[in-house]
Amino acid sequence: MTTHEAHLAEAVAIARRNVEDGGSPYGAVIVKDGAVVARAANTVHLTDDPSDHAEMVALRAASRTLGRDFSGAVMYASGQPCPMCHAAMRLAGFREGYFAYAAEEAETHGVGSAAIYGELCRPLAEQPMRLRQMRPEGASPYPAWAARTKA
């Protein structure tokens, strides 16, 4: 078993335990420089926070030790990261990740986010969630932010 396979197997084991504990079938492990920095299960069933996916819980835990430096970190997720987790990983600076089960397979069992992935690839006007731009009068906050970060 390779190191990648071992870390992914741990993520899947976390997912299996989470089902036994009443949660969703998801687990995640974050590794940096060969060391595990976070392990997590999906905890939505415990917190009612819809963002408590395994990857997000692991990401938050890892940030407490890594800060914002996720360079070289690798995400191992039992299931294909949903659009929220995928984007969070990207924003955090992950360059590599592995998952065991595709979103389409999860959806055949009543979980997963393959449909949302598909929706998000469509123009805003064609998506089921209405998200519309309403630009207010006045300056946006971006110039002030840019000026502050250049100082």
Q: Which residues bind Zn ion (CB under 5 A)?
A: 53, 82, 84-85
Q: By C-alpha distance, which of 24, 5, 26 is closest to 15?
A: 26
For the CB of residue 68, give the shortest distance to Zn ion in the complex, in Å. 20
User: CB of residue 26 vs Zn ion: minimum separation in angstroms?
Assistant: 8
For the record, the structure tokens of 78 come out as 């039992």
The CB density around residue 120, as the number of other CB atoms within 10 Å, is 14
- To Zn ion, the closest distance from the beta carbon of 86 in angstroms equals 7
Single-letter code of the amino acid located at 82: C
Structure tokens at 128: 């089921």
Candidates 55, 107, 119, 137; catalytic one: 55
Residue 19 or 84 having the CB closest to Zn ion = 84
Which residue's CB is nearer to Zn ion, number 15 or number 85?
85
Q: Which is nearer to Zn ion, 9 or 84 (CB)?
A: 84
Whether 20 is catalytic is no
What sign results for the dihedral spanned by CA atoms 70, 78, 44, 129?
positive
List active site positions.
55
